């Protein structure tokens, strides 16, 4: 009889050790199982061939090995962006995206089912908030993609917490996942290859500054003044005024001496005037920072349109003229709704006709080069 209550990926290594000791297993089994899970990327105890049969059976009885199950897959036309829809144990769903660049294989992962921050231009924000993801659910999204690229002889190189949800609103689970990905005895991904994005939760920014792992911080600003920002981000905007966010960011930089990225989704005639570019430049002047400009990705419920390219270029030019490094983010996976702000987990029953399953379609090996 199965008595599974917990995902194996929820456990830290010391917790796994305690469990194994409790069931009378020798200490070396901890390392064996850890290596299977995070090095060999095996999520089936029956395939952990150096474990005794009774232990394989016990693990299968005691733990869930598939906290997230990939139920839908979709690949962009250029086969460089891949979106997965994952079903959780309680039937909720989240999406995550794999992006293949020349030198990088990046996963954009989710930290919550839905989001409470309410960004009006974001599909996830329009869903509302359902619940936080567990550590195991966050970790397993990445492992699913890691298995996929491993089948092509590749490994993931970067993780960005920019999928569904506000990562700093689920801080304990997100940070536990960061530590899991970083663990040199397991998945072994450098901390600088991970980025946590936030809409500006100041307590979380301050806490991040004190952590020992030097992950990257990205702050979604989207407007240089509070009035406009509160319109674009109606829930989080009023709670976190720009002055408070900037104070937390300055503290963060003073403590860590790390460069902070600011994300700015460019919306036509909304936040993309040259005056607003100058206001943004004035706000960020002297900061160790970088601005990522992202022409808004279309979402069904959003009233705003992306800034046309010439205006976006002119906006960027104002920033660079003022000494603020700024790049135009390459838009990826727009046609499969995998771009920034487009993730929406309601596709399961086909409510969103833009997402069509392409099960069994393989990634092109050239796309991973
Ligand atoms: S943009 Fe990010 S913080 Fe805003 S609603 Fe969407 S997921 Fe939440």
The hierarchical CATH code for the domain 7-64 is 1.10.150.530
At the topology level, CATH places domain 68-368 in: TIM Barrel (3.20.20)
Write out pLDDT tens, residues 327-354: 998 766 666 666 666 666 554 344 433 3
| Contact present, 70 and 84 (Cβ < 8 Å) | yes
Domain ranges of the chain: 7-64, 68-368
d(C-alpha 248, C-alpha 254), whole Å: 10
121/233 Cα distance (integer angstroms): 8
124 alpha carbon – ligand 1 mean position (Å): 6
pLDDT band at 126 (very low <50, low <70, confident <90, very high): confident
pLDDT at 359 over 60: no
Q: Which of 14-18, 189-193, 237-241, 260-264 has the lowest mean pLDDT?
A: 237-241
With b for 16 or more beta-carbon neighbours within 10 A and e for fewer, the 174-203 pattern comes to bbbbbbbbbeeebbebeeebbbbbbbbbbe
Q: How far is the CA of 229 from the centre of ligand 1 (A)?
A: 13
Residue 367 half-sphere exposure toward CB, CA atoms < 13 A: 19
Give, using CA atoms, the residue closest to atom 5 of ligand 1.
Answer: 125
Q: Quick one: pLDDT band at residue 57, thresholds 50, 70, 90?
A: very high
Active site residue 122: no
The binding-site residues of ligand 1, defined as CB within 6 angstroms of any ligand atom, are 115, 117-119, 122, 124-125, 164-166, 199, 341
Distance from residue 213's CA to the centre of ligand 1 (Å): 24
Residue 336: per-residue pLDDT: 61
């Amino acid at each position: 009889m199965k008595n599974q209550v917990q995902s194996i990926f929820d456990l830290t290594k010391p917790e796994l050790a305690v469990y194994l000791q409790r069931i009378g297993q020798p200490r070396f089994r901890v390392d064996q199982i850890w290596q299977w899970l995070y090095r060999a990327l095996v999520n089936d105890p029956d395939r952990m061939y150096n474990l005794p049969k009774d232990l394989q059976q016990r693990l299968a009885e005691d733990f869930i090995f598939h906290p997230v199950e990939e139920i839908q897959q979709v690949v962009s036309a250029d086969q460089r962006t891949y979106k997965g829809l994952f079903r959780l144990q309680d039937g909720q769903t989240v999406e995550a995206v794999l992006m293949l660049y020349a030198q990088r294989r990046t996963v954009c992962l989710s930290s919550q089912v839905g989001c409470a921050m309410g960004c009006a231009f974001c599909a996830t924000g329009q869903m509302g908030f359902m619940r936080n993801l567990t550590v195991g659910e966050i970790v397993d999204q990445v492992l699913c993609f890691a298995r996929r690229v491993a089948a092509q002889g590749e490994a993931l190189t970067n993780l960005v917490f920019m999928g569904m949800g506000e990562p700093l609103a689920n801080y304990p689970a997100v940070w536990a996942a960061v530590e899991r990905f970083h663990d040199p005895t397991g998945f072994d991904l450098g901390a600088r290859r991970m980025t946590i994005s936030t809409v500006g939760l100041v307590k979380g920014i301050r806490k991040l500054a004190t952590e020992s792992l030097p992950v990257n911080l990205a702050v979604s600003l989207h407007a240089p003044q509070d009035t406009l920002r509160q319109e674009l981000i109606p829930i989080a905007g009023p709670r976190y005024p720009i002055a408070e966010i900037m104070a937390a960011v300055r503290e963060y930089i003073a403590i860590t001496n790390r460069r902070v990225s600011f994300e700015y989704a460019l919306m036509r005639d909304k936040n993309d005037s040259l005056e607003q570019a100058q206001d943004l430049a004035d706000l960020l002047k002297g900061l160790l920072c970088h601005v990522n400009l992202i022409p808004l990705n279309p979402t069904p419920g959003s009233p705003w349109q992306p800034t046309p390219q010439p205006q976006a270029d002119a906006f960027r030019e104002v920033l660079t003229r003022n000494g603020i490094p700024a790049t135009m983010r390459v838009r990826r996976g727009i046609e499969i709704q995998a771009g920034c702000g487009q993730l929406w987990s309601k596709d399961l029953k086909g409510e969103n006709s833009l997402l069509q399953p392409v099960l069994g379609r393989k990634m092109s090996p050239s796309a991973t080069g």
